Structure 1
Amino acid sequence: MLILHRRVQLLQMTLVDCTREKFSKYEQLLNDAGQKPEFWDVVVITARDDSQKSIFDYQISLKKQRHEVPSFVKYIVISDPPGVKVGSGGSTLHCLEYLANNFGQHSLSQWKVLIIHAGGFSQRFPSQSVLGKVFLTLPCSKYPIQMLEALLMMYISIPGKMNYGVFIAASDVIFLFNEKGNWDFRVPGFVAIAHPASLKLAKNHGVFILEDMISPWGKYRSDPSSPAMVATPKCFLHKQTAEVLKHKDSYLPTVPI
């Protein structure tokens, strides 16, 4: 029990140190007037409709004036198509089509693009139904920041780990991870980020079933402060029951979380 507690504390300390480093890098990014650093070429933020798009555009213009976001980045707000809502998947395809039509097919093979899905209704957070959760204020720095800046901070190391392409993020998730180690997004195809979780949590989210469930898991458990590892999934399950997850060999009952 003491060893487990120490390992958990070690993991927390590692994430805290990494997060502090990202905050520091982001502040340098805002204050550096010299050569353009390795960062996103384009940040796309999706909006629910044209009305919300106009609000998002105004908020971003204010942030640029106040030097709260990097000025050298192209910020594009894209509203979802009218009519039936297409979800994050349909919105992603709509964004890719918009970029290709307005900037040429070559843009997607030459730019590093961050897409932040922010066009939800915020039904469980009605106070953010107008501005959206991407402009939710967080008291997590020397000065108040909003989710947009937090996301740019959290993913500040990703552009340096990819040649070009699109990275998709949610506007209501702060994903803490150790950016150190020999891993990147330069492998052709789709690359996703995941983490081990309890069965209770997993059944309400997306789950990747790995080709080899034992080796990566054992390595992760042996040193939770170690950097992220690369693994190959054989399938993906979304919000399935505990019984289905067990049947699909996604659950290791001999190794409790």
Structure 2
Amino acid sequence: MAGERSALRREATGRRLARFAALRGRAARAGQFWDVVAVTAADAQQGRAYRRQLEEKLRREELPLGARYHVFVDPPGPRIGNGGSTLHVLRCLEELYGDKWTSFLVLLIHSGGHSQRLPNASALGKIFTALPFGDPLFQMLELKLAMYIDFPRHMKPGVLLTCSDDIELYSTGDAETISFDRPGFTALAHPSDLAVGTTHGVFVLDPSSFSGKGGVEYTSCHRFLHKPDVETMRQHGAVCPRGNCPQLSSSAHRGDPQVGSECVYTDSIFYMDHSTAKQLLTFYKEVGTLCCEIDAYGDFLQALGPGAAPGDTERASDVTKEGSWLAEVRQKLHCLLRGTALNVIILNNSKFYHLGTTQEYLFHLTADSKLKFELGLLPVAFSISPGKAETLGPSASVIQSILEPGCSVGPGSVVECSRIGPEVSVGKNSIISGSYIDLKVDIPSNCFLSSLSIKINDQLEYISMVFSVEDDLKKTVKLLSEIHSLQFFGVSLLDCLDLWGVKVSEQLFSSEAPRWGLWTARIFPVCSSLGESVRTALQMLSSVQHMSAFDLNGFRLLSVEEMLSYKDVEDMLKFRKQIYDEICLQRQKEKCDL
């Protein structure tokens, strides 16, 4: 039965990919595609990087034409979250198009984070993460557009909101369409095990209003719970018996989720009609400058449905962190939206995948056989590879890269947008991104290596970050005496600094306490060439593995935070284009030889 459902999702996904492929580089008819595709960015620099990549995609005719593609940058100042970004985008659309924007079909993709949990996407953005399939190669942006390709034709003017690091694959069964045509909010719901519910939004539905069978069912939501614990799910009646939940989907599990007798319905994307969007825009204008983070899921959807309670706005940990201003804004939003309908479209045969962390990224691109089957992922996608079985380990993934004869890539590893020399051995479960490795080296297992071009005082230079794929780049400490608790490749950062000859002081970090962590630690050396930066980073790592000294005092050292602020997007894209052109030339030569 599970295999049959997976086959149906594969078939449905294939149809959507084919429809999208037919539109790439062509002008869509009115109502056939989005009027506006909006991508959010955290700051002006990220915004420039996104616009540059969009321009290149349009130049290569990799996207449907006719839509208005926009990048909207969050206003300067405090972080405003994806909810605040949503409000800001609505205002930008009104400023650009006046009242005309209320007739648009808008796809809003949130991609404004700095991707601390998946740093290979930090420089160029998660929405531009390359995937191992498609011709031309797909990135997350194309996949989003493909999976939602049928929505515009069955949607009233409004805004569909999604994030940049998740994938929804689904089969509608006998229902040919999914319609977004009801007032208020309409959300997609996926059957999930209870553990997944604790990290997502959960819908409280009336079990008598749906059967849990077939492909698509429409119902209404009594109440929305944001990342509830299991006890809260049970208390509010969100848990459904297994009979009403024919499939369990998981966002981050190693292998299939355990089949239990219960499930919940979890969120992914949602739509709001223009009447509701205009209400939110009016609220934003009245509030003025936002000084806190608003969650489009936790703060918008929790106010909806007849069972919504004012106490839902009081998530103590957040309120304590951001003060009374956040509580006040949440309360105003709750009052504004209370009584607004939350319609739910249950996709009984669906799978939700999240690619927001190094572990999820590796698992879903290498080990997850279901995603490979349903999406048609390839072991080698748009790359030059020796083609020998011993070169690539089982489940390894090579994406837009050049692998020279003699190199090897271990099981479960991903190499993307890189050039790997003949004497390079990549261990298992590793990520190599944007790098040029031209030395004889054994890269250890569980290694994360990503290279960036940077420009300081108009001088083009290079820097590579190296970590373990299991290192926690979001962990921070408040005191220098706590640095020992930070781990670099399984070793205390304090011990690593001693090996590297780096002094412990407040100047070690690019931010003030309490934001001291691997993300802000000035430990990565600036080099004059891409190859040298990789060599130096791997020497740092080798010194930690062998507990031998490697003096960094002769280098200018930057943190990841700083290298992103100095990034030279043009040069990084130039390196990727060189790889792209060489692959195209090789493919053309192979065609001529046939």
Determine the structure 2 residue equivalent to 1:241: 229
Larger RCO, structure (CA 8 Å, separation 6 or more): 1
1:194 Cα deviation after fit: 1.0
Deviation at 1:178, TM superposition (A): 2.4
Gaps of 5+ in 1: 1-5
Q: 1:121 aligns with which of 100, 114, 118?
A: 114
Structure 1, residues 57-82: CA drift from partner, whole Å, max 9, x if none? 00000000000111211101001121
Deviates more, 1:180-189 or 1:145-154: 180-189
Matched, 1:230 2:218: yes
* Matched letter for residue 56 of structure 2: L
- In the TM superposition, 1:55-74 aligns within 5 A as 55-74=49-68
The one-character-per-residue Cα deviations of 1:202-248 (angstroms, maximum 9, x if unpaired) are: 011101111x12442xx22xx4xx32111100111111111111101
Residue 133 of structure 1, aligned match among 116, 126, 145:
126
Deviations 1:76-135 (A, max 9, x none): 10011211111111110110011012211331x211000000001211101111111100
Give deviations 1:181-209, integer Å, cap 9, x for gaps: 46411111111111111111101110111
In 1: Cα distance, 2:167 partner to 2:105 partner: 20
SS at match of 2:64: coil
Change (3 A) 1:178 1:253: closer
2:138 counterpart of 1:145: yes
Equivalent residue, structure 1, for 2:198: 203
How far did 1:253 drift?
5.0
Aligned residue for 2:182? Answer: 187
Q: Which residue is equivalent to 1:28?
A: 22
Identify, as 1 or 2, the structure richer in strand: 2
2:149 maps to 1:161: no
2:26 aligned with 1:38, yes or no?
no
Counterpart in the other structure of 1:3: none
1:192 partner SS? strand
8 Å contact kept, 2:103–2:157: yes
Contact kept? 1:53, 1:78, Cα under 8 Å: yes
Give the SS at the match of 1:106. Answer: helix
Amino acid at match of 1:38: Q
Conserved 8 A contact 1:114-1:166: yes
Larger radius of gyration: 2
| % same residue | 36
Following TM superposition, by how much is the alpha carbon of 1:141 offset from its aligned partner in structure 2, in angstroms? 2.6
Tell me how large the CA RMSD over aligned residues is: 1.7
Query: How many aligned positions are there?
Result: 243
1:175 has 2:175 as partner: no
Q: 1:103 aligned to 2:97?
A: yes
**Does the 8 Å contact 1:50/1:79 carry over to 2?**
yes
Task: Give the aligned residue type for 1:241.
Answer: D
| 2:41 is equivalent to residue 47 of structure 1 | yes
Moved more, 244-253 or 111-120: 244-253
1:76 corresponds to 2:70: yes
Q: Which runs of 4+ in 1 moved over 6 A?
A: none
